Amino acid sequence: MNWWRGLKVKVKFQEPMKKHTTFRVGGPARYFTQPRDTQDLKLLLKSRERDNIPILILGAGSNILAADKGVDGLVIHLHSPFFKKLSLKKSRIYASCGVSLSKVSSFAKEHGLSGLEFLAGIPGTVGGALAMNAGLPGENIGDLVEMVTVMDYQGRIKTLNKKNIKFAYRQSNLARYIILSAVLKMIKKNKQEIKDSVRRYLKSRHRSQDTCWPSAGCVFKNPARESAGRLIDLCGLKGKKIGDACISKKHANFILNLGSAKAHDVLRLMALVEKKVKNKFNVNLEPEIKIWQ
Ligand code: EPU
């Protein structure tokens, strides 16, 4: 019997990943579903167990490069209203995993709560940002986290407090769970100051980064005390194109999709960058984006 038989939630077949990633690249997911709530999610996890189908959790798809041949697994998109709840208690924000970073950042701004200004303009969801501890040098979402509710791959819900959560540069031990929601501890501040700070972040982002073309943000992690973008730039790679994938002329750690880029083009460009940076600086660049296949 097919593993999805009897489930209330709809399972789609061969759903194009280019529709769900900010890169606008990627072949079809073998299975794709949008559970309505944690009950649906739990049943999905149980049902696919027998056939050992790999699970991939999708938020805003802003850090993913999906292979051209597609993704051989079950992509779970946490996109229903249940996964997009946002509320406030004193100076704490309660955010579900599917809330977009722009939404949580403007919610904080409206309520005179500071701490999340640096997220302005970063495409992504709370769940994705927590899994990879999104941020800028010196400011990461993990710094604000007080508690996170997760589901493990057996469908058990757990609440983790600060002591059980380990955040590091662009990683956390939360990535081994399905993140459901988080409590973020904010600081009360004058609304105008928050607005000004958000404006400064947005301005700096627009000045240094290419937001006109689809991309997945920074492709490589920064090596210790260095900027991957600076090293790639010094290799003279800005503007380098393979197919429709192009290294941004504004920020060398961005690969842009100029129209119909394939994952294969992006991967070839990444390999070229890794080779040039290794040869010139003896530095091994590590991808920040996740490659799904
Ligand atoms: N630089 C260059 N050439 C370039 C890009 C950068 O010389 O093509 C130089 C800049 O002039 C600057 C230094 O490198 O002196 C650092 O550049 P930038 O301030 O742009 O920061 P970054 O280290 O390249 C990091 C994050 C970005 C985040 C910015 C905010 C990583 C991998 N990247 O970039 O995050 O937006 O700081 O300043 O940690 C992302 O994670 O997707 C991302 C874009």
98-153 pLDDT tens trace: 999 999 999 999 999 999 999 988 999 999 999 999 998 889 999 999 999 999 99
CA–CA dist 14, 8 (Å, integer): 19
At residue 7, the pLDDT reads 87
Ligand 1 closest atom vs CA 218: 42
Asked if 58 and 77 touch (Cβ cutoff 8 Å), the reply is: yes
Q: Report residues of the chain scoring pLDDT below 70.
A: none
Q: Closest Cα to atom 36, ligand 1: which residue?
A: 136
Q: How many angstroms separate the alpha carbon of residue 222 from the centre of ligand 1?
A: 8
- Alpha helices by DSSP H, listed for the chain, are 38-47, 101-110, 126-131, 191-208, 228-234, 263-281
Percent of the chain with pLDDT over 90: 94
pTM given for the model: 0.95
Q: Ligand 1 in contact with 234 (CB < 6 A)?
A: no
At residue 16, the pLDDT reads 98
What letter does residue 62 receive in the DSSP assignment?
T
From first CA to last CA, the distance across the chain in angstroms is 25
From 219, 240, 253, the mutation candidate for ligand 1 (largest count of ligand atoms within 8 A of CB) is 253
At residue 138, the pLDDT reads 87
